[in-house]
A = this chain, B = another copy of it.
Amino acid sequence: MKLAFIGSGIMGEPMCGHLLAGGHAVALHSRTKSKAERLIAAGATWCDSPADAARDADIIFVNVPDTPDVGKVLLGVNGVIESARPGTIAIDHSTISPTATREMASKLAAKQVTLLDAPVSGGDVGAKNATLSIMVGGDKAAFDRALPLLQLLGKTITYAGRSGNGQLTKLVNQILVSVTNLAVSEAMNFAQQSGLDAAATIQAVGGGAAGSWQLQNLGPKMLKGDFTPGFMIDLQQKDLRLVLESAKELNLSLRAVALVSDLFATAQSRGWGREGTQALFKTIGRSDWP
């Protein structure tokens, strides 16, 4: 199958690498050519625009930062829509607005191009090890056709229903991740400040109703003062903005998400935007963190 890949950032590069390693021809475009060099060396064919990359492709993968970037790549000047043939599938792995996704899908559908929204979770480690979770919205037949390729990229691949539902599922994931992180941050500050052995406290309570992935994985990092990013606050903030925008469209009040987002803004103002989300711990805690 002829593939196109657009975006060779921290997630896109290893994902594109897995497709190449799977024996597929890949036409590659990236905003910054220098970031594509390793993939070109691995056999990808460089293209000067999304339209060039998409021209001969059966399936087009997109992995760029945010909603406007996806809009430009798919629908803009020299975008996918200018060259993609009828019957092509576009798979967007970026985390972007569910509503914008549906609008783009309908514009592409007018050219018989099927858009699948397929945001991922699992971070750069998941991308490197092909252990990502991928949540997919859009036409089921297109999903079935794309599935063997998605299985080169991730481990848990879920079909979530109509266009936009992959994005919505990812946003549910981000609500859970961020508010549970706040639970752990408050609990670890309370444990530490009250004089408990906070690491032993995780052991004592983590196996029961208080347990979570965030507690087991971020709790110990908080206590060690290890704020190296598994997932960066700046990126989490982008996703929470999408959550709050969607909640507004639904007339839904998400006070805990709004609170976390506000606290992450404080973290960003203190220069911690590129630290891991576990830096929420120090954001709400003692005032003497560097």
Contacts and interface: CB of A to CB of B under 8 A. Distances in A.
A168 B191 contact: yes
B259 A158 contact: no
A109 interface: no
A96 to B, nearest CB: 15
Contacts of A20: none
Contacts of A176: 183-184, 187, 205, 210-212, 215
Interface in A14-71: none
Nearest to A250: B193
Contacts of A215: 176
Interface string A236-263: 0000000100110010111111010001
Interface residues of A, number: 64
A186 B179 contact: yes
A180 interface: yes
A141 interface: no
Interface in A77-98: 98
Contacts of A209: 121, 173, 177, 213-214, 217, 231
Interface of A: 98, 121-122, 133, 135, 156, 158, 160-161, 165, 168-169, 171-173, 175-180, 182-184, 186-187, 189-191, 193-197, 200-201, 203-205, 207-215, 217, 231, 243, 246-247, 250, 252-257, 259, 263, 284-285
16 contacts: A135-B205, A156-B207, A160-B201, A161-B195, A172-B196, A173-B204, A175-B187, A176-B183, A176-B212, A179-B186, A189-B252, A193-B252, A210-B213, A211-B212, A211-B213, A253-B284
Given A168-B190, A172-B210, A194-B250, 8 more contacts: A121-B208, A158-B203, A165-B195, A169-B205, A173-B209, A176-B210, A180-B183, A190-B246
